Structures are given as structure tokens and as C-alpha cells.
Structure 1
Amino acid sequence: MTVTQAPPTTSTARAPAPRPRVSLEPYLYLLPHAVLFFLFTVYPIGYGLYISLHRWDLLSGTQPFVGGEFYRNIFTPGTPQADFFWKTLWNTTFFTIVSVPLLVAAALGLALLLHRPIVGRTFFRAVFFMPGILTVSVMGILWRWMFDNQIGLVNAARDALFSAPPIPWLSTEGLAWVPIVVGTIWWTLGFNMTLYLAALGNVPLSLYEAASLDGATPWQSFRFITVPMLAPVTLFVIVTTALASFQLFGQSLVITNGGPSRSTQSVIQYITEEGFTNAQYSSAAAMGFVFGLFMLIFTAAQFRMMARDVKEG
């Protein structure tokens, strides 16, 4: 009986895989943007934070470290910084609450009208879009003249039609918001309208045809087809319009100069006044960071809430 032995197995160790060679080419493409991003975003933010933590005086050779003193002033009742900052922040919030729903609703309504095959549709689209090409100074001067207390077009029309006395629009608290809100809507309506027009062109007509065959009314088609299909665009319009409204500056500066009694002064306008008129650079920098943090929280909450609604819809 012969016993055969299996040949001995030889184990060969695998050679280590070569490491991938790191290429510098992608980083060279990113380098120009990275340099500009650092110079115009990272460095200004860091330098602004440094200024807000020091008592910054251009005429003094030293800028002592004061920590959170200027931040405490913002949250300490009775200080001028707290009184004016929160007052102007409320003014800006009020403007946003009033203007954003009007801008979204008016833009959607115009888009629905101008999406139909009517005569002169292209002309009317251009008419509503053209005010957006004006600068804020031109727009502000125009609406300041229209609502002037004595020689404004609005008061002249009231006098011609109803023999009514002039209304002091620009010098009455509450009424001073009218030219700012109406002028802003007239000025920025065309952009949102264009977004809605583009979105309406992508809604399949077969959905409306199927709804019509099922006996749906125009209101039902709008509610259950148009509104859900436009939800992503509506989210974008609301967020961008709200952010633009919180950046209110030029309209109130040119039309009312923040008056009367700071009732229409925006928070950015007050921060600019604190820094460049009162020469309180550290205080203005601290206000800028507080307002920026507020904007970040507001934007994140708005995106989260409306993105959830779009997903569920």
C-alpha cells in the first residue's frame, strides 16, 4: 500500500498595492476661487470679529481688548445700541412680513395671467420685468416724488379726482411704509414673475386635460395641480424674497431716510449709521454679527420647514 502525499503548498505573499498618485491638478483649478474666497469672505469675517472684540478707534494707536462688551450693549435694555438695534430690526421684520406675501402672490397671479395665449403677452411680460433693471436710487427717487407730501403725483390725483387735501405720506408713522412697500413690489415683481412663468411652462398639459375629463373646476386644477407642481419654485421664491427683504437699505434710505422718528429705518441702515456716522466701528461690527446669526437661524428654519412641506406635498 502506497501513500501519496500532497505536494507542499507554497504561499506567495501579495505585493502591496501601489498607492494612488496624488495629482495637484484639481487643486490648481480650485486655487483661484480659494484665494478669492479667503480674501473676500474668510478674512473679512475674521477681521470683523476681531474688531467687535476690541475698542476700535482709528485715531488711537491702541485697540484694547474688551471681550463681549459691545455684544452685551446690544442685549442690555436702556442702552442706545439695544433700543435702536431692536427697533430697526423690528422695522425690517415688519417690512418682510408685509412685502413677501404680496410679492409672492402678485408674481404668481401675473404669471398665471401672462402664461395664457393673450394678445400682447410678450409686451406685458417686458413691461412688468423692466422696473427690475433700475437702480435702487432711481427707484427711490421716483417713488419719493410720487408720494411727496405736497407735490406728489398721488396727492395731485386725489386732489383732481376727489378734491381731497394732501396726505403727509412721508412724515406720518405707518403711512411712510406705503411708498416703500409699494415701490419695492413694483421694482422686484418681474423677477419672481419670470421664475413662475418658467415653472408653469414645465407643468404637463396632460394633467390639466385629465383633470378636465374628471370634471375638475379651474379652482380645483389650480389647487391640486398648479400649486403642488410649483412648490419647489415657490420655496425658492419665498426664501430669496425674504432674504432680500431683510437686506432692506436703499429704499428706506432714499424714500424716507429712515423717518419719521426711525419708524422706517432698517437694521442695516442703523448699523451703517453706527459705524460710519457715529464712528463706533466695534459696536457696528458686533451688531453685524448678531444680525448675521439671526439671518442664519431664520434661513435654516425656513428651509427646513418649507422643504418638509414640499416633500410631504
Structure 2
Amino acid sequence: MSLSVPGEAARPREARRRRGGREGSALTPYLYLLPFLALFLVFVVYPVGYGLFVSMHRWDLLAETRPFVGLEYYRNLFDPETPQSQFFWNSMKNTGFFTLVSVPLLIGTSLGLALLLHRPIFGRAFFRSVFFLPGILTVSVMGILWRWMFDNQIGLVNAVRTDLLGMQPLPFLSTEGLAWVPIIVGTVWWTIGFNMTLYLAGLGNISQSYYEAAEIDGATPWAKFRFITWPLLAPVTLFVFVTTVLASFQLFGQTLVITAGGPNRSTQSTIQYITEEAFSNNQFSSASAMAFLFGLVMLIFTYLQFRIMARDARGEN
């Protein structure tokens, strides 16, 4: 006859309950992630996969069949004889020029404003609000405003030139090269407040003890900025630089409203041309191929940015 210890039979059941409780708690985080996963699959994974499928077929909304063509539309983008290649790479050049000019302006000007408005000056909160408020405007409102400012005939800029300075009006909106002036100036005015706010937050996290020690050592204002402020703002600068470059690559609304991509497609951005190819020319397959190639360029550029800026932030060679 076997002897059993009281409570021994209950131990396996208790152990199973504990294991079940641990298993349930392990699944709990994934249950919280399910809503995001569902939205991610529906609004990101599915559109990307469907766009790739469209780019590899001759897609016509009115046709009964959509034959598979493989990489034909991608090859067209590298064939100089095709209009898609000419217009696409021209728009890439325009977007690159805008990014190359606007990003240093947006970073340098926002940092300068942050340094000025970080000081305890009279009306500091008011001036911060003034520089931040344009960012709440929609791109259409901003574009209409700056299109009027630089209008060839009735614009405020030309009115000042003729009435106050006695100079001839300049055809900003119809001259290649000059057409970039309202686009770049308007973009800097529109978005500088966001970067300024980020730099203000970064400046607020720098301990004043560093500056006090530097003053004791007789450091000049430039030395304090070079050896204290700028190195400690490296993480903020990395974030500002990456987000500003990505936003500049996505140039669309400013050129569409201010210049409509003209004159002679000299200000047409890449996204603007992709939109035209898809919805004006009804070439959805070609537009999808352009979008994927443009996205690949942005991914590569962003990766290189992170590598270079993160290395500089760590002080590596």
C-alpha cells in the first residue's frame, strides 16, 4: 500500500496553473500589438506589395488583361531615350538641388534662432511663438501666400523693388533659377519653427555648470559654443538633419502651388512627376516603378546619414 503526503495531489494542478498564468502573461504584450500590426499590414505592407505587383504588369484600369512585363518599367528609367527616364531624373536633380540648398538653411537658421531665444531676453515667449506659428499652416495656404509675395506683376517683393528701391521687377515665377527663390524661402519660413523648438529643448538640457567652468577658464563665446554647445547638441542635430533631409526629399506641395513645376519643369519635384505620371498620364505601372526606385534612393541615403552622423556623435574616426 502506497502512502501519499497530504496536498501532494494538488501540487501538479497548482504548477499547471502557474505555468498557464506565465504563458498568458507572455502573450499579453503581443495582444496589445495586434491593433498596430493589423493597421501596419493593411496600410503599409499591402500597399507596398500591391504597388510592386503593379510595377511588374502593364496596368490599365480599362483593360481586361494586365500582362506581366517583369522589370520593363524599371529598365525604362535607365534608358536615356525614354521620356520617363528624362523627366524622372530631371525631377530627381531638382529635388536634390532643393535638398542641398534648403537643409543647411533650415539647420543653421533654426540653430541660430534657438541660441538667440534661449537667452533670458524680453518677449522671449512671444518671439518663439512668432517663429513657430507658420508651421501650423497647411502647405496650400503657405504656397498661395508666397506665390502672391513673388508674383511677377503684383507681388509684394516686386512692389518694394519698384516703389521703394526704383528697380525693375523680376519675373520670379517664370524664370528658371529665380523660381526656386519663393520655394526655398517659403519653405524655410514655414518649417523653421519645428527645428528651432527641438534645438531649444536640447539647449535646455545642457547643464549651466559647463558654461560656468568655461567662464572661469576664460573661454570666449565661440569656444563655449564649439567645445560645449555643439558637441552636446549632436544627438539633436542628428535627428534634425535626418528628418529635414527626408522632408526635403518629399517636396511636393510647395512646387505644385507656387510654380506648378515650371518653368519648363525646372522646379518639378520627383513626387510631383510621379503623381503626374500616374494620375494625369494614367501610367500606373511606370509611376509605381519610379516610386520604388525613389524610395530605394531615400533608404540608402538615410542609412548613410545615420552611419555618418552616429559615428561623429560617438567621436569615432
Q: Same fold (TM over 0.5)?
A: yes
Tell me the CA shift for residue 126 of structure 1.
Answer: 0.3
Residue number in structure 2 paired with 1:217: 220
Residue number in structure 2 paired with 1:237: 240
| Match 2:201 to one of 198, 206, 228 | 198
Q: Structure 1 residue 51 and structure 2 residue 54: aligned?
A: yes
Residue number in structure 2 paired with 1:5: none
Tell me the CA shift for residue 165 of structure 1.
Answer: 1.3
Decide whether aligned partners of structure 1 residues 20 and 52 sit closer, same or farther in structure 2, where only a CA change above 3 A counts.
farther
Secondary structure of 2:62's partner?
A: coil
Tell me the CA shift for residue 85 of structure 1.
Answer: 0.5
Matched AA of 1:27: Y
Tell me the CA shift for residue 28 of structure 1.
Answer: 2.1
| Match 1:167 to one of 166, 170, 174 | 170
CA distance in 2, matches of 1:46, 1:269: 22
Residue number in structure 1 paired with 2:300: 297
Matched AA of 2:252: F
Tell me the CA shift for residue 206 of structure 1.
Answer: 0.6
| Match 2:149 to one of 146, 149, 153 | 146
Q: Structure 1 residue 26 and structure 2 residue 12: aligned?
A: no
Residue number in structure 1 paired with 2:133: 130
Calculate the TM-score normalised by the size of structure 1.
0.93
Residue number in structure 1 paired with 2:106: 103
CA distance in 2, matches of 1:110, 1:224: 19
Matched AA of 1:112: L
Tell me the CA shift for residue 96 of structure 1.
Answer: 0.3
Tell me the CA shift for residue 197 of structure 1.
Answer: 0.6
Tell me the CA shift for residue 27 of structure 1.
Answer: 2.6
Residue number in structure 1 paired with 2:116: 113
Residue number in structure 1 paired with 2:88: 85
Deviations 1:159-204 (A, max 9, x none): 1122111100000000000000000000000000001111111111
Tell me the CA shift for residue 20 of structure 1.
Answer: 5.3
CA distance in 2, matches of 1:134, 1:245: 17
| Structure 1 vs Structure 2 CA RMSD | 1.4
Percent identical: 72
Deviations 1:3-58 (A, max 9, x none): xxxxxxxxxxxxxx989553343332221111111000000000000000000000
Matched AA of 1:275: A
CA distance in 2, matches of 1:234, 1:151: 40
CA distance in 2, matches of 1:259, 1:90: 14
Tell me the CA shift for residue 77 of structure 1.
Answer: 1.1
User: Greater shift after overlay, 118-127 or 23-32?
Assistant: 23-32
Secondary structure of 1:296's partner?
A: helix
Structure 1: give runs of 5+ residues left out of the alignment.
Answer: 1-16
| Match 1:180 to one of 183, 191, 194 | 183
Secondary structure of 2:77's partner?
A: helix
CA distance in 2, matches of 1:81, 1:310: 40
CA distance in 1, matches of 2:165, 2:185: 22
| Match 2:161 to one of 149, 158, 167 | 158
Secondary structure of 1:75's partner?
A: coil
Larger radius of gyration: 1
Matched AA of 1:196: Y
Residue number in structure 1 paired with 2:43: 40
Residue number in structure 2 paired with 1:255: 258
